[in-house]
Amino acid sequence: MPEMPEVETTRRDLEGRVVGRTIADVRVAPGAPQPQAPLTPEQLREAVAGRRIEDLDRRGKYLIMALSGGLFLILHRRMTGNLILREAGVPPERFLRGVLVLDDGTELRWEDQRKFGRWVLTDDLAGALRGLGPEPLAETWTSADLAATLAGRTAPIKAALLDQRRVAGLGNIYVDEALHAARIHPERPAGSLSEDEVRRLHAAIREVLEKAIRLQGSSARHHVGGLGQRGAMQEQWRVYDRTGEACYSCGTPIEKTRVAGRGTHLCPRCQPYATAGER
């Protein structure tokens, strides 16, 4: 699933190219499910055609297109969705599901192999995104905020970080990478982390996300950026999807387990299961 770095890569790719343009037409591929449901393609076209794209923003894993007249088109890529800017006449992508035709003839194409991605049209942005936690790269998000979020929680730290109400934008890849960088076992109870461990985790989350954005996200499977380019973060994974390979830090084979129902990768030597008081 595209996580925050992948969505932010797409936003940065497209922002300077589509903001100020007007949506001239909307086309949605036949078949169910369609990304704009429950709106019909005709209802979506009637609502957005002729509106100007005034801003392109991101919140967590959501890409937010602000339209003239106070409407917002929120796009969630889910498992396999990509939003790609193409010139008219370029052959369509294999799994093309929808197109926003812009007034300069270019096309914002929605490609989604598994059809789980969604478009939500709303005039209440705050209501649509209600419940999302803080942005992990915001200057205002501190290690004290993370500590307060985790305090008293008995759920595994991996589950707590995947909860979008706690921190927005983190997913399976970058939680595994951040926990390894912070030397924290993913099954540790979230509330058991020491003050030092929380500080390490806070720093690791930021460092991993910033690196992923610099490398334009992870493209091991479905993600491509807003211009169709592949990211390179998958070449820098230290534990994720490296089961049985040697840990770059200590040489111990990477293990895979399940935490909170998700495949989870860790180094058992770098990330021992022990609370601060047990070491």
| 9 and 123 share one domain | yes
End-to-end CA distance of the chain: 36
Q: What share of the chain is helix, strand, coil (3-state, %, to 5)?
A: 30, 25, 45
| CATH number (domain holding residue 228) | 1.10.8.50
Residue 278 is predicted with a pLDDT of 54
**In the chain, which ranges are E strands?**
23-28, 53-59, 62-67, 71-76, 81-86, 96-102, 107-112, 118-122, 255-259, 262-266
Helix 4-18 to helix 195-214 angle (10° resolution) is 40
| 79 and 154 share one domain | no
Percent of the chain topping pLDDT 90: 94
Whether the CB-CB separation of 54 and 66 falls below 8 Å is answered with yes
- 149-164 tens-digit pLDDT: 999 999 999 999 999 9
Q: Pull the structure tokens for residue 148.
A: 């307060």
> Looking at 77, 105, 128, which one is the last position of a domain?
128
Q: How many domains does the chain have?
A: 2
pTM of the model: 0.95
Query: Is 239 inside a domain boundary?
Result: yes
| CATH number (domain holding residue 44) | 3.20.190.10
Q: Which amino acid is at 214?
A: R
- 48-94 tens-digit pLDDT: 999 999 999 999 999 999 999 999 999 999 999 999 999 999 999 99
| 160 and 101 share one domain | no
| 185 and 227 share one domain | yes
| 174 and 267 share one domain | yes
| 160 and 108 share one domain | no
| 124 and 150 share one domain | no
Residue 32 is predicted with a pLDDT of 74
Q: Pull the structure tokens for residue 234.
A: 């998958």
Residue 275 is predicted with a pLDDT of 58
Q: In what order do the strands lie in the sheet with 62-67?
A: 53-59, 62-67, 71-76, 118-122
- 19-53 tens-digit pLDDT: 999 999 999 998 878 999 999 999 999 999 999 99
| 45 and 168 share one domain | no
Query: Is 138 inside a domain boundary?
Result: no
- 172-212 tens-digit pLDDT: 999 999 999 999 999 999 999 999 999 999 999 999 999 99
Query: Is 187 inside a domain boundary?
Result: yes
Which residues are designated catalytic? 2-3, 61, 262
Q: Is the pLDDT of residue 129 over 90?
A: yes
Query: Is 161 inside a domain boundary?
Result: yes
Which residue range forms the structural domain that includes residue 99? 4-128
Report residue 274's pLDDT band, with 50, 70 and 90 as the boundaries.
confident
Query: Is 134 inside a domain boundary?
Result: no
Which of 183, 213, 186 lies closest to 200, judged by CA?
183
| 168 and 52 share one domain | no
Query: Is 135 inside a domain boundary?
Result: no
Report residue 279's pLDDT band, with 50, 70 and 90 as the boundaries.
very low
Range with lowest mean pLDDT among 29-38, 128-137, 192-201, 245-254: 29-38
Between the CA of residue 191 and those of 118, 170, 179, what are the distances in Å? 34, 19, 15
Report residue 114's pLDDT band, with 50, 70 and 90 as the boundaries.
very high
Q: Which amino acid is at 235?
A: E
pLDDT, the chain, mean: 96
